[in-house]
Amino acid sequence: MNRFPGHNILPYALIFPTVAVIAVFLIVPFVQAIYMSFFRISPFGRVRVYTGLRNFEELLRSPEYLQSFLNTMLFCAIVIGFGLGIALFIAVLATQKIRGAAFYQVAFIWTYAMSPAIAGVIWALMFDPSVGIFTALLETITGFRLNFTTDAVGAFLLVTIASIWIMLGYNICFYIAGLQNVPNELKEAALVDGAGPWKAFWIITFPMLSPTTAFLIFVNTLYAFFMVFGMLDVVTQGGPGQATEFLVYKIYRDGFARLREGQAAAQSVFLFIMVASIAGFQIWTSTKRAVYSR
Amino acid sequence: MRSLRHVLITLLVTMLALGTFASAQQVVDFWHGMTGSRVAVLEQVVGGFNEIDPNMQINPVLMGTYEEGLARFLGAYPVGQEPPLIQIYEVGTQAMHDSGMIIPAYQIPERLGEEWDFGQYVGPIVRYYSRDGNLWSWPFASSTSMLYYNADHFRAAGLDPNKPPTTWDEVHEYGLALQAAGVVRDVIGFGWPDWQFEQQLALHDQPYVDNDNGRADHGTQVMWPTEFTDTLFAKWSAMAADGVWLYAGTEYSPNSGFTSGTLTMMLQSTSSLDGIMRTVGDDFEVRTAFIPRFNEYPRGNSIIGGNSLYVSDKASDAELRVIFEFFKYLARPEVDVFWHKNTGYFPATNAALKQLMDEGWFQESPNHLTAFLQILSGRTDNGNVVGSRIGPFVDARDHIRVAMEDASRGVAPRDALNRAAERINVLLQEWLEFAQ
Amino acid sequence: MRKHRKELLNLATHAVLILTLIAVAFPVYYAIVMGTHTHRDAYAFPPILIPGDQLWQNMLVAWERINLGRLAWNSFFIAIAVSVGKIVLSIMAAFAFTHFKFRGSWLLFPLTMITQMLPLPVRILPAFYLMASFGWLNTYWALTVPYLASTTGIILFRQFFLTVPDELSDAARVDGAKPLQYLWHILIPLSLTNIAALFVIEFVYIWNEYLWPLVVTTQADMRVAQIGLRMLYTSERAAAEWNIVMAGLFMIMLPPLVILILLRRQFAQGIAMQSTK
């Protein structure tokens, strides 16, 4: 551990910039956000009135906030469920002993380079009510004409599909890396024991992938909670109605557009509690894994 | 050594010269929300001004939608990042008045020791943006709503394009006829649906809020649901149930349905007129008419929309000078006429209006006349017909839109509007409590 | 017989993979094709799926309309500055945490926790006011400095430094090398793959950032490319000129894509490293 004894100040100097940035730009504003959440701030910032827990009470009673919370959770669940399912399926195929496996392993990476805003616009074209191919296809098959600018389900679907799409490259990469770490001997042992490939996958490979799955659930949750912002702002602006006004977008709208800074700060605190529990869960699973793999 | 000093001195002199040149030039940032085809028109107008005097420059910055422009100005001002000049939509009127961040328009000439005749602006615009008889923002791009219709569709369904529907019942009948003839599936869409609700209140002399529709003092509560709004929402619901009315999204989103021929009629701002005509081209004949109404209720008027110009009270005298020159330039008849002809916004001054009439412009392009006739033929004598002014207008509109979406899905009129009324009343109370 | 079946299975695997690949790539292809047509052709029905010849003209229009040259430069500058800054800071911190015994070493865990638990949206309003009080709104400072701490980077380098055998540092110490000389001459040259991986991750991340640049910039010349895309898309919503929007989108999506493709191997190794931490 201590490979250079006698240097007492150097390590502090080395970590100082990182600690300083985190303290000034992360911790200080967060503490201020907690403080602000106890105030009602006038729309033009001139008056601050201490209102205790009123902001929190109003949020908990607000049907809009509840709706936003439920929509976010639903969105998150779909992105994780479908996104990881598809990614795992492709990753398993791409790690088979086939010719050109290496090609597939890089061929799916690129969606990682797309921003949520870009993905949103690309899928807005697919969903365009008049020229979108997806809309046309859907209408031919089901007779239903989807219009994401007016239809809550349409907008939600657009954002969800674009999100699954954008996370696909990242998820596949991690699953491929995870699958390559699963020792072949184990799989072969299971096959020799008479388990079919399907069963061998579920009893050997999938449990061995659980650290990767836990990590990806965490990353995809972060995406669904925060990163999706750019897509929402460019394509739906939270609408129609409030169908795509997810928690992160609601904070932005309340804080910067509706001029309700106190209420937005209270939402930040709630959001923090949610993130902290998710992050805690992620750390709990990764420590459990450390014990497990020993 | 000497050559180095020589170079340094030359450099210094050049920099000083450039510095003085730069300081004589005053550039004023101008945040605007002119999206779509109007961007280019606005840039032409500003470009014309910038050519006059190189030392007086206006720099137009697109801030996104109106709503964003308003929010960003109110957020930027306290931290010193506001522009001296900003375009704000009519929804932000009360918020800007209450913000304490602006110089009321009527005080600008005074501040510069000049005079300006505000009587030269056309009546409806002056009435809308005035408070206690004085203009608080500078008239610029004013519009109102009107009915756009596809005359070719009318013909195809055997309807007379010279007789557009004037009442909601007729809209409904025409819609059924158009559907029966197989011309379209959905018939009418509303641009800015929340605004169309406000238009209907004013058009029938109904108040939105108390205190003379928020014009005598801050409104404290909304004045609906009423029997009138029941009638209105019941009609809209019935039309939606028959597929005649399509809730086609906010702001300008129904435009694409209308221009591509999937909708026959549309209520939309006059400011879309030129954009629509350019997009449609020769594909079909675009005509316009008054907003449909209910004849059994009193007559009111259509209300002004669009936007006006505000000046930050932190603008320096030098900036204010440029801004005032820009305002004078906008009032030139030829500029105003150009603006009107290329956007569909009302000409702001009486002189421009006269020039347009002398030119025979309205005979040549009757679609540009419709909204004028509509607003000039209505009442002007109370707050209901001039239009409401409320602080939390942006939020209120969110709730109105939800109510209208509900109505389009068949929710009972009272239920839809009661919900909105409850929410907006809370907003109004909060505004009274915290905005002062 | 068995071999035959296996070949058939392989063929099926290939077919599924290729079909999926096409399905995933199609939206991008369609978007770019839109960018190569005239307005009229972009609205043709049934849609024209082969590229036209208008891409260059459309790109010019989009470039002009949102002043993309300036926006792309901002994005590029910020992405490079943050990537480099993060790499430097992470290496420094990881070096401290792996090569020294000092009282601050317990900080690693809490710092990691804090950065994971405090993403921007939970502190956005005060962070905005903090920038205002520094006078940093509409400057590169606001767009770069708050991003500089990266526990991802620290952990990535820490994992790697721990695998470097002690003998190397012992030998260096015996030769009289100071710690920073050892870091510079021995460790960093060994870490190039990790550096490249972190560079890709951070460049893509910063180029694609949206919320923070939206909040801390109002001036047209301080905007970033992602916001430019919004301006391009929103300003045309009334009658979406898909050909122009997509020509602009094409230019905006290209830089991170090129960097990812160039450094894909290092990126994949970085990911493998992260997933086995």
Beta-carbon separation of A49 and B74 below 8 A: no
| Closest alpha carbon within chain C to B77 | C132
- In a domain? residue B371: no
Asked if C234 and B65 come within 8 Å (Cβ–Cβ), the reply is yes
Inside any domain, residue B365: no
Is the per-residue pLDDT at B125 higher than 60?
yes
Separation of alpha carbons B261 and C18, rounded Å: 39
With a CB cutoff of 8 Å and minimum separation 6, the contacts of B353 are: B122, B347
Closest chain B C-alpha to C23 CA, distance in angstroms: 28
Are A226 and C121 in contact (CB < 8 Å)? yes
The ipTM assigned to this model is 0.91
CB B149 within 8 A of CB B164: yes
CATH number of the domain within which A158 lies: 1.10.3720.10
Question: Are residue B410 and residue B321 in the same domain, yes or no?
Answer: no
Give the number of other Cβ atoms within 10 Å of residue B299's Cβ: 13
Q: Which of C234, C240, C264 faces A106 most closely, judged by CB atoms?
A: C264
Spell out the residues 6+ positions from residue B70 whose beta carbon is closer than 8 angstroms to its own. Answer: B88, B89, B91, B92, B95, B96, B394
Shared domain for B114 and B18, answered yes or no, is: yes
Segments making up each domain of chain C, as ranges:
2-59, 66-275
* Chain C residue nearest residue A233, CA to CA: C230
Please spell the DSSP secondary structure of A144-175, one letter per residue.
----TTT-HHHHHHHHHHHHHHHHHHHHHHHH
Q: How many structural domains is chain B composed of?
A: 2
Quote the tokens at residue B16: 């000083």
User: Are residues B107 and B24 part of one domain?
Assistant: yes
Are C236 and B63 an interchain contact pair (Cβ–Cβ within 8 Å)?
Answer: no
Check pLDDT > 70 for residue C235.
Answer: no
In C, which residues are within 8 Å of B68 by CB distance?
Answer: none
Q: Same domain for B12 and B89?
A: yes
The model's confidence at residue B409, banded by pLDDT at 50, 70 and 90, is confident
Residue A6 tokens read as 């006698």
Helical segments of B206-259, H only:
210-214, 227-241, 254-259
Chain B interface with A: residues with Cβ < 8 Å: 67-68, 71-72, 74-75, 77-78, 95, 98-101, 246-250, 253, 256-257, 260, 262, 391, 394-395, 401-402, 405, 431, 434-436
Q: What percent of chain C has pLDDT over 90?
A: 47
- Determine the distance in angstroms separating the CA of C18 from the nearest CA of chain B, rounded to an integer: 36
Q: Alpha-carbon distance C248 to C225, whole Å?
A: 10
Q: A2, C100: Cβ pair inside 8 Å?
A: yes
Give the confidence band of A290 by pLDDT, cuts at 50, 70, 90: very low
Q: Chain A within 8 Å of C15 (Cβ-Cβ)?
A: no
d(CA B408, CA B243): 9
- pLDDT-based confidence at C237, cuts 50/70/90? very low
Residue B26's pLDDT is 92
Residues C29-75: tens digit of each pLDDT: 999 999 999 877 877 777 788 898 989 999 998 898 888 999 999 99
Closest-CA residue in chain C for B277? C239
- B110 and B259 housed in the same domain: no
pLDDT at B14: 56
pLDDT tens-digit map of B45-71: 999 999 999 999 999 988 878 888 898
DSSP B112-129: TT----GGGB-HHHHHHH
Please write the tens of the pLDDT for every residue from A219-258: 999 999 999 999 999 998 887 778 899 999 999 998 888 8
B276 & B399 share domain = yes
C53-61 long-range contacts (CB < 8 A, ≥24 apart) are C54/C243, C55/C247, C55/C250, C58/C243, C58/C244, C58/C246, C58/C247, C59/C35, C59/C247, C59/C248, C59/C250, C59/C251, C61/C244, C61/C247
Report the neighbours of B using a cutoff of 3 or more CB pairs below 8 angstroms: A, C
Q: Note whether B435 contacts A44, CB cutoff 8 Å.
A: yes
φ, ψ dihedrals at B115, nearest 5°: -125, 155
Query: Do residues B70 and B119 both lie within one domain?
Result: yes
Q: What is the DSSP pairing of strand B188-190 with strand B245-246? A: parallel
* Candidates B398, B400, B406, B419, partner chain A, best to mutate (most A CBs within 10 A): B398
| The pLDDT of residue B4 | 58
Amino acid at B308: S
pLDDT, mean of residues B135-154? 95
Q: How far apart are CA B56 and CA B43, in angstroms?
A: 15
Residue-wise pLDDT for A183-226, tens only, equals 877 777 777 777 777 888 888 888 888 888 988 998 999 999 99
Three-state DSSP state, B145: strand
- Look at residues A230, A240, A239, A266 and name the one whose alpha carbon lies nearest to residue A251: A266
Closest residue, chain A, to B251 (C-alpha): A149
Per-residue pLDDT of A116-134, as tens digits, reads 999 999 999 999 877 788 9
**Same domain membership, residue B158 and residue B62:** no
How confident is residue B9, by pLDDT bands cut at 50, 70 and 90? low
- What's the CA gap between C128 and A72, in Å, rounded? 25
- Cβ contact (<8 Å) for B78 and A44? yes
Chain C positions touching A226 (Cβ under 8 A) are 119-121, 211
Residue A107 has pLDDT above 90, yes or no: no
C38/B contact by beta carbon, under 8 A: no
Number of H helices, E strands in chain A: 15, 2
Cross-chain residue pair A131–C170, CB shorter than 8 Å: no
Contact present, A283 and A110 (Cβ < 8 Å): no
Chain B CB within 8 Å of residue A110 CB:
no
pLDDT at B6: 65
* Closest CB to B275 among C43, C137, C239: C239
Q: Which residue does chain C place closest to B259, by CA atoms?
A: C239
For residue B380, what is the DSSP state?
A: -
- Our CA angle for C262, C266, C271, nearest 5°, is 125
* DSSP secondary structure code for residue B291 in this structure: P
Q: Which residues contact C89 (CB under 8 A, 6 or more apart)?
A: A17, A18, A21, C148, C149, C150, C153
The sign of the CA dihedral A150, A135, C54, C255 is positive
- Give the H/E segment covering residue B289: strand B286-289
What is the chain B residue with the closest CA to C238?
B252
Can you read off the two tokens belonging to residue B272?
Answer: 């879309």
DSSP C162-213: HHS-HHHHHHHHHTT--HHHHIIIIIHHHTHHHHHHHHHHHHHHHHT--HHH
CA atoms within 13 A on the CB side of B194: 20
Q: What does the alpha-carbon distance between residue A183 and residue A205 come to, in Å, rounded to a whole number?
A: 9
B368 occurs within a structural domain: no
Report residue A157 as tokens. Answer: 């679907």
3-state secondary structure B159-205: CCCCCCCCEHHHHHHHHHHHHHCCCCCCCEEECCHHHHHHHHHHHCC
- Give the alpha-carbon dihedral of B421, B425, B427, B432, to 10 degrees: 160
Are A122 and C249 in contact (CB < 8 Å)? Answer: yes
Find the CATH number of the domain harbouring B176: 3.40.190.10
Q: Which CATH code is given to the segment(s) C66-275?
A: 1.10.3720.10
Quick one: B156 and B285 in the same domain? yes
The sign of the CA dihedral B317, B322, B323, B328 is positive
Q: What is the DSSP string of C212-262?
A: HHHHH--SGGG--HHHHHHHHHHTTGGG--HHHHHHHHHHHHHHHHHHHHH
Residue C105 DSSP one-character state: G
Asked if C125 and A122 come within 8 Å (Cβ–Cβ), the reply is no
Tell me: cis bond preceding A240? Omega within 30 of 0 counts. Answer: yes
CA distance A150 to A129: 10
Residue range C155-185, pLDDT digits in tens: 889 888 988 888 888 888 888 888 888 888 8
Residue B409 lies in a domain: yes
| Rg value, chain C, Cα | 24
Longest dimension (CA), chain C: 76
What is the token pair recorded at B423?
């929410």
The pLDDT, as a whole number, for residue B2 is 52
pLDDT of residue B327: 96
pLDDT-derived band at B393 (thresholds 50, 70, 90) equals very high
Q: Are A237 and A259 in contact (CB under 8 A)?
A: no
Residues 6+ apart with CB under 8 A from A249: A229, A232, A233, A238
* B80: nearest CA partner in chain C: C132
What Rg, from alpha-carbon coordinates, does chain A have?
24
Q: In the predicted model, is pLDDT for residue A293 greater than 50?
A: no
Number of domains in chain A: 1
Is residue B327 assigned to a domain? yes
Give the nearest partner residue to C238 out of B36, B59, B78, using CB atoms: B36
* Cβ-based neighbours of A198, under 8 Å, separated by 6 or more: none
Flag if A174 and C271 touch (Cβ within 8 Å): yes
Confidence of residue B233 (pLDDT cuts 50, 70, 90): very high
Tell me the sheet residues that pair with A104: none
Mean pLDDT of C246-260: 95
Q: In terms of CA atoms, which chain C residue is nearest residue A293?
A: C276
Q: Which of A39, A44, A61, A62 to mutate to test the interface with B (most CBs of B within 10 A)?
A: A44
Q: Tell me if B134 sits within 8 A of B104, measured CB to CB.
A: yes
What are the pLDDT digits (tens) for B307-355? 999 999 999 999 999 999 999 999 999 999 999 999 889 999 999 999 9
Domain that holds residue A203: 62-292
Contact (CB<8Å) A26/C275 = no
- Give the range of the structural domain holding residue B280, as residue numbers without chain letter: 145-302+378-434
Residue among A169, A168, A166 nearest A122 (CA)? A166
Q: How many CB atoms lie within 10 A of CB B160?
A: 9
3-class SS at B269?
A: strand
Confidence class for position B11, pLDDT limits 50, 70, 90: low
Does residue C179 belong to the interface with chain A, where contact is any CB pair within 8 Å?
Answer: yes
Is A265 part of any domain?
A: yes
Average pLDDT over residues B193-198: 96
**Span A267-283, mean pLDDT?**
88
- Alpha-carbon span B32 to B346, nearest angstrom: 18
The nearest CA of chain B is from the CA of C54 a distance in Å of 20
What is the predicted pLDDT for the residue at B5? 61
Q: Which of A44, A47, A150 sits opposite B99 (nearest CB)?
A: A44
Q: Which residues of C touch A27 (CB under 8 A)?
A: 114, 118
User: Quick one: pLDDT band at residue B1, thresholds 50, 70, 90?
Assistant: very low
Q: Is residue B366 domain-resident?
A: no
Q: Across the interface, do A149 and B248 touch by the CB < 8 Å criterion?
A: yes
Touching subunits of A (3+ CB pairs, under 8 Å) are B, C
User: Which residue does chain A place closest to B246, by CA atoms?
Assistant: A150
Residues 225-264 of C with CB under 8 A from A: 226, 229-230, 233-234, 240, 242, 245-246, 249, 252-253, 256-257, 259-261, 264
Q: How far apart are CA A10 and CA A145, in angstroms?
A: 66
Question: Which residue among B71, B77, B395 places its CB closest to the CB of A256?
Answer: B71
Q: Which residues from A are below 8 Å from B401, CB to CB?
A: 241
Q: Give start and end residues of each alpha helix (H) in B27-99.
A: 38-52, 66-76, 93-99
Contacts of A149 in chain B (CB under 8 A): 248-250, 253
Confidence tier at C114 by pLDDT (50, 70, 90): confident
In angstroms, what separates the C-alpha of C76 from chain B's closest C-alpha? Answer: 22
The residue count for chain A: 294
Same domain, B353 and B384: no
Q: In what order do the strands lie in the sheet with B245-246?
A: B245-246, B188-190, B265-269, B145-150, B286-289
Which sign, positive or negative, has the C-alpha torsion B279, B281, B285, B286? positive
Give CA B262 to chain center in angstroms: 25
Better pLDDT: C272 or C121:
C121
Tokens coding B190? 């509303």
Closest partner CB to C114 (pick from A26, A173, A283): A26
Kindly identify which residue of chain A lies nearest to residue C170, measuring between CA atoms: A3
Of B29, B35, B61, the CB nearest to C235: B35
Q: Which of A243, A260, A282, A279 shows the shortest CA–CA distance to A75?
A: A243
Q: Indicate whether B367 belongs to any domain.
A: no
Q: Residues A21, C145: contact at Cβ < 8 Å?
A: yes
